[in-house]
Amino acid sequence: MAYTQVLAVDFIQDPVVEHIQVLMVDFIRVPVVVYTQVLVADFIRVPVVVYTQALVADFIQDPAVAYTQDPVAVYIQDPAADFIQVLMIIHT
């Protein structure tokens, strides 16, 4: 799957995808992805990703990511990240 665009979905799982764009999703899991963009997500988990951008996310976990940008995130965990940019984060 080279390109995936989802406007509203409760659950999305893409094992291998080059580009995925999700506007509203409750749960997203992408094991291997080159580019991931999520505008609104309650939970996002990307084990291996090159580029991840989440505008509004309650929880995001990226064990191995090259680039992560999260303007608004309640919880973000990045054990191994080459680049991470967080504008606003609230951790409770």
Confidence of residue 49 (pLDDT cuts 50, 70, 90): confident
Check residue 89 and give its pLDDT: 64
Q: Does residue 1 surpass a pLDDT of 60?
A: no
Above pLDDT 90, what percent of the chain?
Answer: 0
This prediction has a pTM of: 0.74
Q: Do the beta carbons of residue 53 and residue 66 sit within 8 Å?
A: no
Q: Cα(90)–Cα(92) distance, rounded to whole angstroms? A: 6
Give the 3-state secondary structure of residue 36. strand
Q: Name the more confident of 1 and 48.
A: 48
Question: Could you tell me the pLDDT band of residue 91, with boundaries at 50, 70 and 90?
Answer: low
Q: What is the average per-residue pLDDT within 36-45? A: 85
Average the pLDDT over 40-60 and give the result: 85
